[in-house]
Amino acid sequence: MTIKSAINFFKYFSLFLLLGNYSCNIYKQVPEGSSILLSNQIDLIGQEKDLINDFFYKDEIYKIPLQKPNKRVLGIPLSQHIWAFYNKRKVTKFSQFMKTKVGKSPIFFDSSKLDRSRIALENYYFNIGYLDNQVKVNYQTKDKRTKVVYAVETKSPYKIKFIYTDTLTPIQKDISAENYNSFIVKGDILNIEKLEREIGRMTYVANDKGYYSFTKDNIKYSFDTFHKNHEVNVHVKILEETDSTLFQKYRLDSIYVFINTYKEQANVNTSIIERRGNIIFVQSKDKSYNENFIQKFIYQNHDSFYSKGDINKTIQRLSELNNFKLINSTVKFPSEFARNLDVVYTLSPNSKRTISLDQSFYNSTLGFIGAQPTLKYVNRNLTRKADKFSLSLSGALEFNAYLNQNKNFSGLISRTDLTVAAGYNIEKFLLPKFIVNKQDYVFNRTFINLNYTYSKRLGFYDIHNIGTNLEFQWAKKKNSTFSYSPVAFNAIIFPEKSVSEQFQNTLNQNPFLKSSFNNSFIIGSNFSWNHFFSVGKRKSNSINMMLNMETAGNSVYLLDQLFSLSKDDNGVNIGDINLSQFVKTQLELVKSTKLTHLSSLQSRVKLGVAFPFGNSSKLPYIKQYFIGGPFSLRAFQPRTIGAGSHNPGVFGLDTLQFPRDQTGNMVLEFNTEFRFHIVSFLKGALFLDGGNIWNSSPNFSQDELGVFKLSEFYKQMYLGGGFGLRGDFNYFIMRFDVGIPLRVPYLSKNDWVIQDAKPLNNEWLRNNLVINFAVGYPF
């Protein structure tokens, strides 16, 4: 790091300390005899030190004391500082908002809560197997600041030696048959929470096998301890029968489905009552849903045993339709002495038709700023079978952010887009019935999509992009979804008349650039898989895996070889436009690690590779990889990175400069983001992004610097970092990120550009600071 950089760092660090000292005015407003709770300290005595697990473990136990200290941001009680600043100001709507909504009054120490906190800690450790634990508490007050210390001596945990369950009566046998899913296992440390979950599981098993009246109050547990070896025997016992109905298995009589109506209306107009097999439908006069269609999602039958699992599966399948704002289920006895049950579903549909106008803003290549309004019409129940039809029209204008900054991009508007899209969603597979079985799926759908985009880059070229595809989506488990498109078609057309003379000269001088602007047809298929699962001892962390595979041109190429469909010998073509042949694969992993209840660490790794073959020597322009921008490397503008250590620069001709989009057929990207709570709805983030794109061979690259080499690729990583603010408004996230480059690999003298940082220099900020506005998290 240079001397100047060190001086700048010292300035900012000094400013940070000054803010911290200034915040001390909070203590001037603390009444005499009172103090502010500064911290709770919990010392674990007799436990082995494990820095990582101990950090996460302590986050749980710090929630236990009844009185929590004031929250701090980077060591500063920011919320309390804001409260103190406005506490003695003139009362206005703004000052009250800042004081009560953004700021927060300091927490005064209350010694009366210490003993209850001590007991709560003892109970917590008792419940996780430390039956002999002891907790001592003391506190110290100085300068109106109080620190509380809890000393916890856990001693050795008790482990389960034997587990006893009753298996004499029919209900005990029915429940014990499912014990392979038990939450308590021999040899594990005793855990009261797991025992309670086991009781809940056993109750669910009983309800699922017809015992409707059976509740968890009918199951108790006890355990015998052996102090010498710290072992325990657990006895889970089903209480003896006191009411004959508790242990009775019930069968179903009738299944009712009320759609947009109520049970008391059924006798008003009998024409709205329909019976389909064992199900009685009651609808309003408009009969908004087809009864045969809804019947497919009901998993109960007349005279079958009551099953809570079947009811939950029915609710889940109906919810997956995304057509009902409210779904209720009730189980009733038809009469006072009935021995069978009725199941009643009440469905409240959403509005059938909606029209919405959305507005989005974005920043694009080389800092262009764009606005895109979208008008969308949706009919979510077109043929009374929850099939959805959507039609959208959107237009985009991209403005030249560098106008009047001598960047030579002519005109205020740099690009215009117009997109028309239509989609149709059917709640089943458009496949023969013998291929699929609806009982096996959480959902199964068919999508038919059609879209057209006209894009005009003023002074350069026009693009017509026409696409359509048939797609199947399904899930057999909640955490794992699949998608397969057997037919996907794209036509990318660059009209010759739209290409400006100056840009055509640029293309003629650069064959590699010219190859990216060829007309092409893409006819292929793609497959994707998304899998989500929890990890960690407390299942508080998660990993999301996304795999995408795409191939194009194979089937048409085979037909051409068999029937000679092409007009010439220059490869497979349709109307003089070559057919693209390629394979493309991308794997993305996102891990979420909970650090504290107000902070987390989010990480992402993305790998991708694509190869043209057969009929194609280059990938289609829209299928090439690029990185940078608000959802990628945020310290760099979109499409300005790579390939490899190639200097992207610009291609110029006279006064016209064309910002060439940097693309490749290989990509590696990684992101790490520390997210934390600031005040109220405002959250913050510190992030580090890295990655690059490459070409797999010189045939795909403009020079050797952009070719992937195993011995060199790790030296060619772009790195960027920064901070962000997020407004979390529950239904959506507004994001503001500021990034600066840390490393630029094509610079031979000093690729670690952060060493030459001049954060107080306006020119440096203008050339290096990248500001991103976006909706939603980056990953």
Q: For the chain, what is the mean pLDDT?
A: 81
Contacting residues for 570 by C-beta, under 8 A, at least 6 apart: 578
Res 697: pLDDT: 80
Contacting residues for 683 by C-beta, under 8 A, at least 6 apart: 675, 676, 677, 725, 726, 727, 728
Please say if the pLDDT value at position 9 is more than 50.
no
pLDDT in tens, 278-303: 899 998 877 889 999 999 899 888 88
Res 376: pLDDT: 94
Say if residues 628 and 648 touch (Cβ distance below 8 Å).
no
Q: Name the pLDDT band for 234 (thresholds 50, 70, 90).
A: very high
Q: What one-letter code names the amino acid at 662?
A: Q
Res 656: pLDDT: 38
For the beta carbon of residue 430, count every other beta carbon within 10 angstroms: 10
Q: What one-letter code names the amino acid at 389?
A: F
Query: What are the backbone dihedrals phi and psi of residue 386, each rounded to the nearest 5 degrees, phi first?
Result: 60, 25
Q: Name the pLDDT band for 149 (thresholds 50, 70, 90).
A: very high
Q: Name the pLDDT band for 407 (thresholds 50, 70, 90).
A: very low
Angle at 106 (CA atoms; ends 105, 107), nearest 5 degrees: 120
Sort 581 into a burial class: Cβ within 10 Å, 0-12 / 13-18 / 19+.
buried
Q: What average pLDDT score do residues 733-738 get?
A: 87
* Alpha-carbon gap, residue 141 to 161, rounded angstroms: 47
- pTM above 0.85? no
Poorest-pLDDT segment among 344-348, 453-457, 630-634, 678-682: 678-682
Q: Name the pLDDT band for 453 (thresholds 50, 70, 90).
A: very high
Q: What average pLDDT score do residues 216-240 get?
A: 88
* Alpha-carbon gap, residue 556 to 393, rounded angstroms: 32
Q: What average pLDDT score do residues 628-648 get?
A: 84
Res 18: pLDDT: 46
Please say if the pLDDT value at position 579 is more than 80.
no
Q: Name the pLDDT band for 25 (thresholds 50, 70, 90).
A: low
Give DSSP secondary structure letters for 209-267. Answer: TT-TT--GGGEEEEEEEETTTTEEEEEEEEPPPSSGGGGPPPEEEEEEEEESS-GGGTT
The percentage of the chain sitting over the pLDDT mark of 90, rounded to a whole number, equals 32
Please say if the pLDDT value at position 736 is more than 70.
yes
Q: Name the pLDDT band for 12 (thresholds 50, 70, 90).
A: very low
Q: What average pLDDT score do residues 627-649 get?
A: 84
Q: What one-letter code names the amino acid at 657?
A: Q
Q: What one-letter code names the amino acid at 159?
A: K
- If one compares 686 and 358, the residue with the highest pLDDT of the two is 686
- If one compares 336 and 460, the residue with the highest pLDDT of the two is 460
Res 405: pLDDT: 40
Please say if the pLDDT value at position 601 is more than 80.
yes
pLDDT in tens, 525-555: 999 999 998 887 667 789 999 999 999 877 7
Contacting residues for 223 by C-beta, under 8 A, at least 6 apart: 190, 232, 233, 234, 235
Res 586: pLDDT: 96
Please say if the pLDDT value at position 81 is more than 90.
no
Res 244: pLDDT: 64
pLDDT in tens, 100-131: 777 778 888 898 999 999 999 999 999 989 99
* Alpha-carbon gap, residue 261 to 279, rounded angstroms: 16
Poorest-pLDDT segment among 316-320, 353-357, 408-412: 408-412
Res 420: pLDDT: 97
Q: What average pLDDT score do residues 385-397 get?
A: 92
Please say if the pLDDT value at position 50 is more than 90.
no
Sort 12 into a burial class: Cβ within 10 Å, 0-12 / 13-18 / 19+.
exposed
Please say if the pLDDT value at position 205 is more than 70.
yes
Res 510: pLDDT: 67
Tokens linked to 13: 């660090």
